[in-house]
């Protein structure tokens, strides 16, 4: 039993680890609190049972094509702003390092209840692990004229504050907190380490397959407006709050059907709000205006794009689209023919889908992470996860590294992506690097400098490569930037041809998804 300012909670010992699940860090975000910033939870009398995961945030299910690879449990209930704690030694005397986990899922899916994210392995190795649920989709990232932006990100800030105030009672050191996230969780972590309100709450950060970034406000507004049009309501928080929750989720899923990292399109995202996100977090971090003294562990998987394109046979379809797909990628990345030509020279045997996928991955992920590391040498560490899945076509795809980071490669949900026979020694090695980073700030390889050291996790013993992505990334430094694709209404304007290619690509891929 542990006492918090809101009441006592009782956890369970599981294999020698004390586990507390479903602890509320904020009040249920519904009723008058809907679309509003989080508020403290109501205190409770007696001892609250913390033996089971709490409710997950409202979210649509993954499509059938993605559900075969990704686990996403749904736990009903309104009290979805909750977190879980795994600790080897409850009590204020332990002062152990703390890792706070933010799940991915494009800010529309995912939860802390995914079995791959079992924090027992971190606690086993001396790190208190906290995993967090936060609002998703239109509930957490809709942009309305009558509600504050970024409530989902504000949920995460509330969870960090809860950790700072309470984690000592669970055996953690509030002065040694590592914020760790993957994909949308990494994007969130990047925004949070740049936020003025988190000063003193975060000592280190791990950004897996997601850079600090913000979305264009118009892009998020289009998502809300399209939902409003389908629902035949005004695009306001007040109107959205009257819609049946299941209908809202179905509408969100339908409107977002053609959005993806490769295709672009309207989507939910973190926006500059003048408060929690006062400016672009990547630029704030590069300029040295934020997160001074925060160590960074940054990385990606070798073949990120394959999770976006393999489900449903989209990889083969993009290959067949040929020039249309390539033009769409050029528009997505705002570059001309020079960049894809350079990729073709570097990778003469690659198909169109591979070139498109690697171009978009470099544009969205590797280039910004390199820029961030260049601005913070000596305190940044980079890695690439290159071990290929045993499943056909996935290779070293997005999210494949999660079972290795958590050392949960033996759970069935990890096998959905990795297949059977994932090497346990690689799980042990990669997990140990994350444990070491959370404890000391040094994962065990050379910090970033002018030689561009990148730790490669693959078959056999991990090794350090120097500038393994430099030939591709150098192509972008000399290529002229192409303006954003022009809206369809002006077919003669510069960029209209590329915009048309993007629309054709989305329609073609969307037809296959249906």
Assess whether pLDDT exceeds 80 at residue 509. Answer: no
Helix (H, G, I), strand (E, B) or coil at 452: coil
Assess whether pLDDT exceeds 50 at residue 494. Answer: no
Q: What is the structure's pLDDT at 259? A: 79
pLDDT in tens, 163-222: 999 999 999 999 999 999 999 999 999 999 999 999 999 999 999 999 999 999 999 999
- Scanning 267-305, the segments in alpha helix (DSSP H) are 281-286
Cβ-in-10-Å burial (0-12, 13-18, 19+) of 283 comes to middle
User: What letters, b where the CB count within 10 A reaches 16 and e where it falls short, cover 67-84?
Assistant: eebbbbeebeeebbbbbb
Residue 140 near residue 252, CB atoms below 8 Å: no
Assess whether pLDDT exceeds 80 at residue 27. Answer: yes
Q: What is the structure's pLDDT at 502? A: 55
Beta bridge partners, 19, equal 12, 86
The percent of residues above 70 in pLDDT, for the chain, comes to 94
Cα–Cα dist 396/14, whole Å: 32
Task: Give, for 316, the enclosing helix (H) or strand (E).
Answer: helix 314-321
User: What letters, b where the CB count within 10 A reaches 16 and e where it falls short, cover 168-196?
Assistant: bbbbbbbebbbbbbbbbbbbbbbbbbbbe
Question: 416 pLDDT band (50/70/90 cuts)?
Answer: very high
> Cα-atom radius of gyration of the chain, to the nearest Å?
22
Cα–Cα dist 191/422, whole Å: 33
Beta bridge partners, 102, equal 132, 181
Q: What is the structure's pLDDT at 487? A: 43
Residue 134: CA count within 13 A, CB half-sphere: 31
Residue 82 near residue 23, CB atoms below 8 Å: yes
Q: What is the structure's pLDDT at 480? A: 77
Question: 364 pLDDT band (50/70/90 cuts)?
Answer: very high
Assigned CATH topology for domain 2-438+453-513: Rossmann fold (3.40.50)
Q: What is the dihedral sign for C-alpha 173, 39, 270, 395?
A: positive
Residue 412 has a CB neighbour count (10 Å cut-off) of: 9
Q: What is the structure's pLDDT at 492? A: 38
Average pLDDT, stretch 332-341?
A: 94
Q: What is the structure's pLDDT at 511? A: 45
Residues 6+ positions from 46 with CB-CB distance below 8 Å = 7, 8
Question: 506 pLDDT band (50/70/90 cuts)?
Answer: low
Q: What is the structure's pLDDT at 485? A: 54
Assess whether pLDDT exceeds 80 at residue 504. Answer: no
Residue 292 CA to its chain's centroid (Å): 22
pLDDT in tens, 303-321: 999 999 999 888 999 999 8
Residues 6+ positions from 440 with CB-CB distance below 8 Å = none
Question: 261 pLDDT band (50/70/90 cuts)?
Answer: confident
- Taking Cα atoms as reference points, which of 303, 319, 343 lies closest to residue 509? 319
Residue 482 has a CB neighbour count (10 Å cut-off) of: 17
Beta strand ranges found along 291-411 (DSSP E): 295-301, 380-385
Q: 410 is written with which tokens?
A: 């033996």
The full set of domain ranges for the chain reads 2-438+453-513
> Please, what is the angle between helix 314-321 and helix 323-333, to 10°?
100
Residue 192 near residue 230, CB atoms below 8 Å: no
pLDDT in tens, 71-117: 999 999 999 999 999 999 999 999 999 999 999 999 999 999 999 99
Residue 321 near residue 505, CB atoms below 8 Å: yes
Average pLDDT, stretch 9-20?
A: 97
- More reliable by pLDDT, 295 or 481: 295
Residues tagged active-site: 183, 304, 398
pLDDT in tens, 36-71: 999 999 999 999 999 999 999 999 999 999 999 999
Residue 52 CA to its chain's centroid (Å): 24
């Amino acid at each position: 039993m542990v006492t918090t300012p809101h009441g006592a909670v009782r956890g369970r010992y599981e294999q020698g680890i004390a586990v507390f699940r479903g602890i509320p860090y904020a009040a249920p975000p519904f009723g008058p609190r809907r679309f509003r910033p989080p508020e403290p939870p109501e205190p409770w009398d007696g001892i609250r049972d913390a033996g089971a995961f709490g409710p997950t945030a409202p979210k649509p299910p993954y499509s059938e094509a993605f559900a075969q690879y990704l686990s996403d449990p749904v736990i009903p209930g309104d009290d979805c702003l909750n977190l879980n704690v795994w600790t080897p030694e409850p009590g204020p005397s332990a002062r152990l390092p703390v890792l706070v986990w933010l799940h991915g899922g494009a800010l529309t899916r995912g939860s802390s209840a995914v079995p791959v994210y079992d924090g027992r392995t971190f606690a086993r190795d001396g790190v208190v692990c906290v995993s967090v649920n936060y609002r998703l989709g239109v509930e957490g990232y809709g942009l309305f004229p009558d509600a504050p932006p970024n409530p989902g990100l504000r949920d995460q800030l509330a969870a960090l504050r809860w950790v700072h105030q309470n984690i000592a009672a669970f055996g953690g050191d509030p002065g040694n907190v590592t914020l760790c996230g993957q994909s949308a969780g990494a994007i969130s972590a990047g925004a949070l380490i740049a936020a003025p309100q988190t000063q003193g709450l975060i000592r280190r950060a791990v950004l897996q397959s997601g850079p600090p970034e913000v979305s264009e406000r118009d892009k998020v507004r289009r998502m809300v407006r399209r939902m409003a049009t389908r629902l035949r309501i005004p695009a306001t928080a007040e109107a959205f709050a009257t819609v049946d929750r299941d209908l809202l989720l179905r509408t969100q899923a339908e409107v977002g059907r053609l959005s993806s990292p490769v295709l672009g399109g309207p989507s939910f995202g973190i926006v500059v709000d003048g408060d929690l996100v006062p400016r672009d977090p990547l630029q704030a971090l590069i300029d040295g205006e934020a997160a001074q003294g925060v160590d960074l562990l940054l990385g990606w998987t070798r073949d990120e794009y394959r999770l976006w394109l393999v489900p449903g046979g989209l990889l083969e379809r993009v290959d067949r689209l040929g020039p249309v797909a390539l033009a769409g990628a050029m528009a997505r990345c705002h570059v001309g023919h020079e960049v894809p030509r350079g990729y073709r020279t570097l990778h003469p045997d690659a198909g169109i889908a591979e070139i498109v996928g690697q171009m978009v991955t470099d544009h969205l992920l590797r280039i910004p992470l390199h820029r961030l590391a260049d601005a913070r040498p000596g305190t940044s560490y980079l890695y690439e996860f290159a071990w290929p899945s045993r499943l056909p076509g996935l290779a070293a795809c997005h999210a494949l590294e999660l079972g290795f980071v958590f050392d949960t490669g033996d759970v069935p949900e990890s096998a959905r992506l990795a297949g059977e026979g994932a090497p346990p020694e690689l799980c042990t090695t990669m997990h140990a690097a994350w444990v070491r980073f959370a404890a000391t700030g040094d994962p065990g390889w050379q910090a970033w400098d002018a030689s561009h050291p990148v730790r490669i996790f693959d078959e056999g013993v991990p090794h350090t490569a120097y500038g393994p992505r430099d030939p591709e990334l150098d192509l972008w430094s000399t290529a002229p930037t192409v303006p954003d694709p022009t809206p369809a209404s002006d077919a003669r304007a510069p960029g209209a041809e590329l915009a048309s290619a993007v629309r054709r690509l989305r329609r073609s891929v969307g037809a296959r998804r249906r």
